[in-house]
Amino acid sequence: MAKISVSTLAKKKQAGEKITSLTAYDASFAKLFADNGVDAVLVGDSLGMVLQGSDDTLAVSIEDIAYHTRCVRAGSRDLFVIADMPFMTYNTVAASCENAAKLMRAGANMVKVEGGEWLHDSIRALTQQGVPVCGHLGLTPQSVHVFGGFKIQGRDQAQAQKMIADAQALEQAGAQLLVLECIPSALAKAITDAVSIPTIGIGAGNQTDGQILVMHDLVGISAGYIPKFSKNFLAETGNMPAAVQKFCEDVKSGAFPGPDHEFN
């Protein structure tokens, strides 16, 4: 596969070509995904739940993410690797820069932060220092206690309008990618239309510029709760490479996510 960059993803949006993305935490799966058509991987703080067995993502440290970023980078030189900034590692501009540097040195191409307009100064500082940034709106797992649980966001008009404004503010600050999680499909489309940067959906319908799934959901091995927006592609295909290929094909064709995987 050709080496993927920020400009590659931007061109995909401009061309109307869907972006395919999965979470990854080690070299073996990074290579599997690179070999079977995945454009980008996220070293997510979801590792706190799927690897460490926690109830949420809050205990994940910057050292955890840096370690797994190094592992993922070792599996593929060409994949576009996004690394999560964990809980309370970007609460100030100085902390944002210090911790983002650790992830970029570990092999990330971009860092991801959760939140809206309040991140403007940190995103501006990061991009000025050469760190590409991905925003994350909607159900932001690091705010689970504020939300009162893992709940759909943006269903009332005021919240929806605030989310659109936040998306535009993140782009204006310099963000080059945006994850939209667990929001109504119509709102995801409105945000996608309101910004020029690519949007990656998870539980946000199929009108975003791309899709991401937690890899454990892709192969049906998530412990406990199975999200509505997930699909077990391994059960459908019978082997791991075929499951990844089918995910990519269905995302690109618009077949996934379907009506059963979205929120109204």
Looking at the structure of the chain, the number of domains it has is: 1
Instruction: Report how far residue 167's alpha carbon sits from residue 112's, in angstroms, rounded to the nearest whole number.
Output: 14
- What is the model's pLDDT at position 145? 62
Name the residue range of residue 238's domain.
Answer: 6-261
Any binding-site annotation on 230?
A: no
pLDDT mean values, one per 10 residues, the chain (264 residues): 91 97 98 97 94 91 98 96 97 98 98 96 98 95 69 88 97 98 96 98 96 94 78 95 98 94 81
Any binding-site annotation on 64?
A: no
Q: Would residue 32 count as lying in a domain? A: yes
What CATH number does the domain containing 204 carry?
3.20.20.60
Calculate ∠ Cα 160-92-161, nearest 5°.
10
Instruction: Report how far residue 104's alpha carbon sits from residue 178's, in angstroms, rounded to the nearest whole number.
Output: 18
Catalytic residues: 181
Any binding-site annotation on 143?
A: no
- What is the model's pLDDT at position 226? 75
Is 222 within 8 Å of 255 (Cβ atoms)? no
Q: Would residue 140 count as lying in a domain? A: yes
CA distances to 100, 121, 258 from 173, rounded to whole Å, are 16, 7, 33
pTM above 0.85, yes or no: yes
Of the chain, the end-to-end C-alpha distance in Å amounts to 36
Is 103 within 8 Å of 117 (Cβ atoms)? no
List all residues 6 or more positions away from 1 whose beta carbon is below 8 Å from its beta carbon.
34, 35, 37, 78, 79
Length of the chain: 264
Any binding-site annotation on 45?
A: yes
- What is the model's pLDDT at position 140? 86
Torsion sign across C-alpha atoms 236, 239, 240, 246? negative
Largest CA distance in the chain: 47
Q: Would residue 1 count as lying in a domain? A: no
Any binding-site annotation on 46?
A: yes
- What is the model's pLDDT at position 194? 98
- What is the model's pLDDT at position 223? 65
